Amino acid sequence: MDSKEFRQEGHRLIDWIAEYLDHADRFPVLSQVRPGEIRNALPDHPPSGGEPFAAIMDDFEQVILPGVTHWNHPRFFAYFPANNSAPSILGELLSAGLGVNAMLWQTSPAATELEQQVMAWLGELIGLPGGFQGSIQDTASTATLCALLCAREKATGFAFNARGPAALDPGRPLRIYCSREAHSSVIKGARIAGFGDENIVTIDVDGARAMDPDDLARKIEADRDAGRRPCCVVATVGTTSTTAIDPLAQIGPVARQHDLWLHVDAALAGSAAILPEKRWILDGIEHADSFVFNPHKWLFVNFDCSAFFVRDPGHLERVMAIDPAYLQTDRDDQVTNFRDWGIQLGRRFRALKVWFVLRSYGSARLREMLAGHIALAGEFAGWLEAAPDWEVMAPVPLNTVCFRYHPTGRNLDEELNAINKGIMDRVNAAGRIYLTHTVLDGRFALRLAVGQTGTQRRHVVEAWEELRRQAASA
Ligand code: PLP
């Protein structure tokens, strides 16, 4: 592809994306293909000769597109959003065009320094206290793994890095504490970091499914008494099932008292802290050693982009740093080299898309959009509460509502679970709405998360109508 063709096809592709973003709701939101259908439609062998770009795009539309679930669809209410925006897409494209690898300051000073600055801006927007510094990671899972590695090395005085599992006394394992509502990435991170599943201590939650700090204190003390080694607390601000908010202001002092690493996972909810009326969700964040939230979930920066902040970058660097001659530069003592702030060596120039988004929207508009999503979720919860046959199953502090259909006279959870699973399956098969579920104390709960860029009130109204239509045939 020469530059003339690149221009032509590039313009066409931008037109295609613009049209798509304007009319994503033309497609069924959840792809309706069967397993294997897309792969079977693809040739068995790679092409031996080059093909015209137009032919590739044709196949994209005919073969690939039917197998796409449309995360940018205004009626996407599943999981948590991974929302997006035009400025972010352009930033991503520009980053691909530059092809920068931001592993060292020298390999692109602007990439490093812009990343430092957008992280400082993000910190300011969410009201993070001074003293935190950050870098962009691919996902919250990676950031949490980095935090667990930091905790492990703090507890072992860097002996695990040096000697591996032999540094640990098997009778005195390192322990991690998180609530039973914590995300699965904590368990995955604990496995990779060598803690082991059985050393994750599950802390009770209160009626709002937030971590009980008294149970945390009790379980840490019990571990100490038994000769085990408390190491790290992972608190969640905005749990995945219900967006419960663990009380950092009470958890922090417990972690401090026992000299434990405190990592805060606010993957979705952190973005909400740009709203003054939601700042309380981070009350107590000053106790944290590390903190992650995902602009790629709810701040209009396309996937992937996780903002990972630490209080002591020197410790993170010491945990991660390996210093081969081929990566050394003359300015290493004057600059930040992000190669040692995470797991990857090579790093994309993600700061560009964050910068585009923050500048294009400005904080006032970002606040307006998030407040709009939260208001819609609140309104939806109000409709459920006012309807006799529906119930809201957890508090709704942010954008996510857990609920179920509960017709009068049908009180067996087992039966209600089957009814609600049936409603979800029919809603999703109909293709207009996509939502997913969770299970709360054995009860199947439908989940509606409002957070797509194009979602407006009428889309939530449609979701409510569709749910009632499908419930009527239950
Ligand atoms: N933590 C929480 C609370 C989440 O809800 C999620 C995903 O929804 C994650 C972590 C994982 O995020 P990522 O896909 O960025 O690793």
pLDDT in tens, 165-194: 999 998 999 999 999 999 999 999 999 999
Q: Are 390 and 406 in contact (CB under 8 A)?
A: yes
Q: Are 285 and 267 in contact (CB under 8 A)?
A: no
Dihedral, CA of residue 299, residue 300, residue 303 and residue 306, to nearest 10: -20
Atom of ligand 1 nearest to the CA of 268: 5
CA dist., res. 40 & res. 465, Å (int)? 36
Cα 285 to ligand 1 centroid, rounded to whole Å? 19
CA dist., res. 252 & res. 263, Å (int)? 10
Per-residue confidence (pLDDT) for residue 411, from 0 to 100 = 86
Which of 35, 73, 54, 51 lies closest to 455 in space, CA to CA?
A: 73
Per-residue confidence (pLDDT) for residue 293, from 0 to 100 = 98
Is residue 131 left, alpha or beta, with left meaning phi > 0 and alpha meaning psi from -120 to 50?
left
Q: Are 233 and 255 in contact (CB under 8 A)?
A: yes
Cα 223 to ligand 1 centroid, rounded to whole Å? 28
Name residues whose C-beta falls within 8 Å of residue 57's C-beta, 6 or more positions apart in sequence.
9, 12, 13, 16
Cα 181 to ligand 1 centroid, rounded to whole Å? 12
Dihedral, CA of residue 54, residue 60, residue 61 and residue 65, to nearest 10: -170
Is residue 185 in contact with ligand 1, taking CB distance under 6 Å? yes
User: For the chain, what is the largest distance between any 2 Cα atoms, rounded to a whole number of angstroms?
Assistant: 75
Q: Are 199 and 151 in contact (CB under 8 A)?
A: no
Quote the radius of gyration of the chain (alpha carbons, Å): 24
Give, using CA atoms, the residue closest to atom 14 of ligand 1.
139
- In the numeric block, the tokens 């970002």 are attached to 366
* Paired sense of beta strands 290-293 and 443-449, if any: unpaired
Is residue 293 in contact with ligand 1, taking CB distance under 6 Å? no
CA dist., res. 428 & res. 174, Å (int)? 43
Q: Is the dihedral of CA 383, 384, 388, 389 positive or negative?
A: positive
Omega of the bond prior to 304 within 30 degrees of 0, cis? yes
Would the pTM count as exceeding 0.85? Answer: yes
Q: Are 228 and 198 in contact (CB under 8 A)?
A: no
- In the numeric block, the tokens 């062998």 are attached to 45
CA dist., res. 345 & res. 134, Å (int)? 16
Is residue 300 in contact with ligand 1, taking CB distance under 6 Å? no
CATH match of 100-348 with 2.60.40.420: no
The strand order across the sheet containing 443-449 reads 390-392, 400-405, 443-449, 436-440
CA dist., res. 21 & res. 1, Å (int)? 26
Alpha-carbon 241 to chain mean position: 13
**Residue type present at position 12:** R
pLDDT digits (tens, 9 = 90+) for 379-402: 999 999 999 999 999 999 999 999
Cα 183 to ligand 1 centroid, rounded to whole Å? 7
Give 162-170's long-range contacts (Cβ < 8 A, gap of 24+).
164/194, 165/194
Mutate to test the pocket of ligand 1, among 263, 264, 268 (most ligand atoms within 8 A of CB): 268
Atom of ligand 1 nearest to the CA of 239: 3
- Cα 333-337-343 angle, rounded to 5 deg: 135
* Paired sense of beta strands 400-405 and 443-449, if any: antiparallel
Which portions of the chain are predicted below pLDDT 70?
A: none
Is residue 141 in contact with ligand 1, taking CB distance under 6 Å? yes
CA dist., res. 358 & res. 299, Å (int)? 9
Is residue 400 in contact with ligand 1, taking CB distance under 6 Å? no
